[in-house]
Amino acid sequence: MATDRYQKRRDKLLRALRKADAPRLLVTNETNVSYLTGFTGDSSTLLVDRDRTILVSDTRYETQILDECPGLETVIRTNREKMTDKLGELVGKLGWTSLGFESDAMTFAQYSAFDEATESTDLVPLTGLVEELRAIKDAQEIKEIRRAVLLAERGFDALKATLRPGATELEVAHDLEHTVRRLGSPGLAFPPIVGVGATAALPHAHPGTQQISEAGFVLVDWGATAPSGYRSDLTRVLVTGKVPAKLRKIYQVVLEAQLQAIEAIRPGVPCHEVDAAARNVIENAGFGSRFGHGLGHGIGLDIHESPRMSPVEKAELKPGMVITVEPGIYIPHWGGVRIEDDVLVTKDGYEVLTSVPKQWDEAVVAL
């Protein structure tokens, strides 16, 4: 049952709390609340203790909580009660003298108000406990990410088939989202990046008015959200016109870097070693200074999750992690190439979940 699934997650969190020598946790990160309960609303917090779990929400969600979280203890505040005051009142009634909180999910103003509302309770800052659990996906989560991948790929196939020379970056972005929604997705996983020519040199470019025909290539970074909320993340470069020799050279370097990194993926390998496998290829080709970001990141309910694939990340890969592998080379005022796939860490290696063609000849499209 789904309720058993969320209870198992909370049990894992309690074990993590014991290791951190913390008796209980106030969960304020809304994605973490959803992960631990199945609740898909907002403006709610969760108290997790070894003896009870309490969801604190408001009157808008009473019926929704009954549907999504049957049997979960719930406290409902009215529109005359502030969340911090309601939590302070509840913690006081429970007699808790110590309470951990997610220090990276609470503003200083929120902390100050909560601290004032819980004068007799020692607030203990904690970080990353739920995020570490979320980094390892179970079979159902992997299934949902596969669905998000499929939605993204089908949307991209339609985009390639209908790409017009006169279309602007912004129009392409809108068309892609419209298609993915019609396929059954609630929306894209993040605002898509569509960069024509020199715009592709901006790793997080915003789609603008430049037309596809204004340069010989376009970079598209997109993903889809499955109905369950799980996400995918891909990047491809499409060659749409006359091919500069420089583009082909850089493309092949980036592709080789990505393939080398993927081959390095297996349980027990530190994230920085996978990053190095790609970075070494790019550096040896003379473009080391043009690859400024990390190799990738975990994906799931959020588009950026643990682990981080970077030169300084020492965490080791574990079975069940789903990561992006996205090396890139960016030349100011000329353009950029990034190739990105979603990869599952398996018990003995890896599985590439995405299947959009990426060989050079497959990147060329006729307009």
The reported pTM is 0.95
Q: What pLDDT shows up at residue 1?
A: 53
Q: Which pLDDT band holds residue 242 (cuts at 50, 70, 90)?
A: confident
pLDDT confidence of residue 366 = 81
Residue entry with tokens 């027990």: 268
Of 244 and 65, the one with more pLDDT: 65
pLDDT of residue 128: 96
pLDDT (0 to 100) of residue 244: 80
Task: Give the list of residues 6+ apart from residue 116 with CB closer than 8 angstroms, or none.
Answer: 84, 88
Q: What is the pLDDT of residues 256-279, one digit of tens each?
A: 999 999 999 999 999 999 999 999
The whole-number average pLDDT for the span 245-255 is 96
Percent of the chain with pLDDT strictly greater than 90? 96
Question: Given a cut of 80, is residue 3 above it in pLDDT?
Answer: no
User: What integer is the mean pLDDT of 63-84?
Assistant: 94
HSE-up (13 A, CA, CB side) for residue 92? 13
Location of structure tokens 């005359």? 80
pLDDT score, position 367 = 82
Tens digit of pLDDT for each residue in 179-219?
999 999 999 999 999 999 999 999 999 999 999 999 999 99
Q: What are phi and psi of 89, to 5 degrees?
A: -60, -45
Given this model, what pLDDT does residue 25 score? 98
Average pLDDT, the chain: 96
pLDDT at 302 over 90: yes
What backbone torsions phi and psi does residue 51 show, to the nearest 5 degrees? -100, -20
Residue 245: pLDDT above 90?
A: no
Instruction: Locate 54 and state its tokens.
Output: 């309490």
Alpha carbon dihedral 266, 272, 278, 282, in 10-degree steps, equals: -170
| Mean pLDDT score, 327-343 | 97
Which pLDDT value is given to residue 60? 95
What share of the chain has pLDDT > 70, as a percent? 99
Ordered domains of the chain (ranges, CATH): 2-134 (3.40.350.10), 139-363 (3.90.230.10)
User: Among 78-82, 143-147, 344-348, which is the least confidently predicted range?
Assistant: 78-82
Class of residue 279 by CB neighbours under 10 A (exposed 0-12, middle 13-18, buried 19+): buried
Judge whether residue 243 has pLDDT over 90. Answer: no
